[in-house]
Amino acid sequence: MSRETLEINYTHLDTPVGKLMIGSSERGLCKVSFALEVDAEFFSWLEDHFQNAIFKENRKKSDPYLKAIDGYFGGKVRRFDFKLDLIAKGFRRNALLALSKVPYGKAVSYGELAALAGSPRAARAAGSACASNPIAIVIPCHRVIGTGGGIGGYGGGLHHKRYLLKMEGIDFKE
């Protein structure tokens, strides 16, 4: 039995935090990566998670995502309302989906995120979910800070997290 081939469209967007690589399928946005992840790693991740896919550079099909993310950096978009093709299961998926509902300008701790995802004692697992988030900015891991207000970690680099938190007016401790 042959599997239908999935098309993954990709492009990049220049932003105040550098180049973002963006990938989407017909099901929705599936990958947003900072320039810290070189293009080869971006495509390797896509190949690992979408084994039967073909990749096409297509700015036109990515346009809704590009406009929304660009609008976010321009202060015009505070909530993303497009479909996601989120590759995650179990608690990790629950945590990322819960995180996608944390509003612009608000922060949660890892413990609060765990509770929002249905497992209040799973703060470390919430941190792990954030660390594996394939859709940076849109699923806003930058809005997760330590219980005492410390900045915590960030796969996109702490300098990017500081920028995003400040842009949204979120207080944190260094």
- CA 31, 129, 157, 73 dihedral sign is positive
Query: Tokens in use for 20?
Result: 């973002």
Q: Spot the catalytic one: 86, 95, 136, 141.
A: 141
Residues 49 and 87 sit within 8 Å (Cβ to Cβ):
yes
Cβ contacts of residue 72 below 8 Å, gap of 6+?
78, 80, 137
Strands 53-57 and 6-15: parallel
* 141 a catalytic residue: yes
Any long-range contacts for 40-46 (C-beta under 8 Å, 24+ apart)? 42/10, 45/134, 46/8, 46/10
Active site residues: 141
